[in-house]
Amino acid sequence: MSDPILLAEGVSRVYTEAGHDLKVLDNLSFTLQAGERAAIVGQSGSGKSTLLNILGGLDLPSSGRVSVGGKDLHLQSEKSRARIRNEKLGFVYQFHHLLPEFSALENVSMPLLLRGERIRDIKERAANILERVGLEKRLTHKPAQLSGGERQRVAIARSLIGEPACVLMDEPTGNLDRQTAEDVQQLIEELNQSLNIAFVIVTHDLSLAHRTGKVYELRDGGLFQQHEIPVED
């Protein structure tokens, strides 16, 4: 088997507040191979977003290590970690974080603009990926002119334009109605299968979690793979 896209070994995260230590993550491990989809579920406040930030190199663990594409993040400078995030990872959040003054095409172009690639090539790739997510007629629309589901599709397109090995998603359907959430779920599955991109999805949506290849529960600071999780009524 090839090296994993994401690897966490013995990861702990401790915060110190008012002289007291709060251990959010406790010696957990996680592995994700190319093209895999994994969901992480857990109660609010269990540390899911903290874990996602550490897997994405936005935060560093108090102990343990995380590697992306075989590179240990804690051994990199902040500049190198930013480059790894830009080249190897995509990010999608519950709230799309699109820039309101820019069009869908311009928002999707941002990761490649940061790489300094040619504007003409960037626009072509941005248009292609927006077409891939069904927004070929919305290229010039700004976020305020788009529906919630369309804004989330733009955010997904932005996460994909750099051809990442893995996309990290924090509650990608949490702010959507049921039908729009279903559409986004189907889109994630289609992109996973057609592009062989791995996905890590933090979610409270158990229907979305069920549809991934692996489901993990984060509780008491540890990460436990679940073979059965309860279905919401």
Q: How confident is the model at residue 10 (pLDDT cuts 50, 70, 90)?
A: very high
Q: Which domain CATH number covers 160?
A: 3.40.50.300
233 is a domain residue: no
Give the mean pLDDT of the chain.
Answer: 85
Q: What is the pTM of this model?
A: 0.84
Regarding predicted confidence, which is higher, 31 or 96?
31
Q: In Å, how far are 112, 120, 129, 150 from 123, measured between CA atoms?
A: 10, 5, 10, 19
70 is a domain residue: yes
Counted domains in the chain: 1
204-217 pLDDT per residue, tens:
877 778 878 789 99
Distance CA 147, CA 159 (A): 19
State which residues form the domain around 109.
6-222
230 is a domain residue: no
Angle at 192 (CA atoms; ends 210, 149), nearest 5 degrees: 75
Q: How confident is the model at residue 1 (pLDDT cuts 50, 70, 90)?
A: low
227 is a domain residue: no
103 is a domain residue: yes
Distance CA 50, CA 70 (A): 21
- Percentage above 90 pLDDT, the chain: 24
